[in-house]
Amino acid sequence: MNRLILASASPRRKQLLAQIGITPTKIVPANIDETPLASELPKAYGQRLAREKALFVAKDNKGALVLGADTVVGVGRRILPKTETAEEARACLQLMSGRAHKVWTAIALVDGQGKLYQRVSASRVKVKRLDEREIEAYLASGEWQGKAGGYAIQGLFSAHIAALSGSYTGIVGLPLFETASLLRRAGMKVAV
């Protein structure tokens, strides 16, 4: 069983899989509604989306392994958006400034028989206190567009990360330890 479909258009997830010697056979983004449910907590939201993405793609790809993932940034019980406007990104950066937040990346794998496997990676990220000049410079970079919480840890924003605990690759978008473990459990040969 070496046919793997990645249920995500994220170039970062494809690159992360390559780090452990895996190239998806196909990339099929899942077209699902990503609206949080009323009172849904960040971790549960990420788990639900990863599961729905994998199941959505698996229904049209019988016999393949299908990997879905979702990264959620949360401050307390609050889910931060995948920012689409500079105003959204500014609000996220101001909220995270000088404090810690959590990043959950959930993964879901549907095997060739339709069995579902799930894992979640939880990380804690501390952002230095940002002044207005730093926020405006980051917004001008455009790197925040479409990013959960309005930042990409692997880019310019890394200069503002005071500390992190957990999975760096999970924060980027795919926790490799958990992913490799699930792929092995489902019978896929992982090079490392």
Residue 79's H or E segment, with its range, is strand 78-80
Helical (H) or strand (E) element with 43: helix 42-58
Catalytic site residue 70? yes
Give dist(CA 45, CA 74) in Å, integer: 10
Catalytic residue among 60, 70, 111, 131: 70
- The H or E element that residue 65 is part of is strand 65-75
Positive or negative torsion for Cα 27, 53, 179, 2: negative
Tokens standing for 149? 């919480």
Rounded Cα distance between 146 and 94, Å, is 17
Residues with active-site annotation: 70
